Amino acid sequence: MPSLKAIRRRIGSVKNTQKITKAMKLVAAARLRRATQRITELRPYATKVGEVLRAVVATVDTGSADKPVHPLLVAHEERKKAYVLLITSDRGLAGAFNSNAIRAGERRKRELLEEGFAAVEYVTVGRKGRDHLRRRSEVIAHDFTGAMEAPAKRSAEIARLLVGEFEEGVIDQLDVVFTEFKSAVTQVIEQQTLLPVALATTASDEQDAQTEYLFEPDKEALLARLLPMYVETSVYRALLDSLASEHGARMTAMDSATRNAKDMISKLTLVYNRARQAAITKELMEIIGGAEALKG
């Protein structure tokens, strides 16, 4: 059995760890409130951008030679290269947040290779995903760190870079893998094909299809503006979803760590008390044995 001094040292160490995890939980909770507000405010805007874009695409004439299809809507016949935009965090201590996203990104790469792409490379957002893929000797075309500190600015930068490479024919498809925020305790891995832009029709779109819209300027000019904006908004939404999910996962992980530390302190305290009682009993027996020996 460990000595009383060693047990006291262990209890003190666990108490210090408990203070740190409790503080990290409070910080994550405060950041989660701000991140939740940002993603909640963005979602209606992102949804409306998609609705307007679908309305424009549904009414624009893309079949004639003088009105060609916008490059971001065209699926490339050749499947030379695809990108997987993998969004993780720059820091750890967030439970399975990063590992789940990384596994989903690796799975998506395998699927794209099975679909016939000659090469699949990664675009990473966050140090955790980048470092893991580097250890696996994976090809990382671009990496972005610190994006969560200024998600609006960095999402525009990322979107412009990837849209430019798609239009130039450097890549033939872009998929994003991120963690969608549902609640503080629930985060779901999502994947979406950003390029070429594929607009799924919703029930509200079918209702709006009978409504005639007046566009200013012309539809083609709107399409040229809305498509890059849609990609940028999708990247921005993925960043904010991942940011909120990161804080939620970290808050949950630190809460669990704090409770585990409390349980460990209780167990160590019980061991300490038993060891102390055994030491006292042993000393008493020695004293009684010595007294009996003197009597004899």
pLDDT of residue 65: 45
35-63, pLDDT tens digit by residue?
A: 999 999 999 999 888 888 887 877 765 55
Please report, for residues 107, 208, 266, the alpha-carbon distance to residue 278 in angstroms, rounded to integers and kept in the order given.
56, 80, 18
Q: Does domain 34-250 have CATH number 3.40.1380.10?
A: yes
DSSP secondary structure string, 120-179? EEEEEESHHHHHHHHHTT--EEEEE-SGGGSHHHHHHHHHHHHHHHHHTTS-SEEEEEEE
pLDDT of residue 296: 60
pLDDT of residue 289: 79
Fold agreement (4-23+253-295, 34-250) = no
- pTM, two decimals, is 0.86
Q: Where are the domains of the chain?
A: 4-23+253-295, 34-250
Residue 192 phi, psi (nearest 5): -150, 140
CB-based contact 194:212 (threshold 8 Å): no
pLDDT of residue 213: 64
Into which CATH architecture does domain 4-23+253-295 fall?
Orthogonal Bundle (1.10)
Q: Which pair of structure tokens corresponds to residue 280?
A: 């006292």
Burial (CB count within 10 angstroms: exposed 0-12, middle 13-18, buried 19+), residue 197: buried
136-184, pLDDT tens digit by residue?
A: 999 999 999 999 999 999 999 999 999 999 999 999 999 999 999 999 8
Which segments of the chain have a pLDDT < 70? 1, 60-69, 200-213, 215, 296
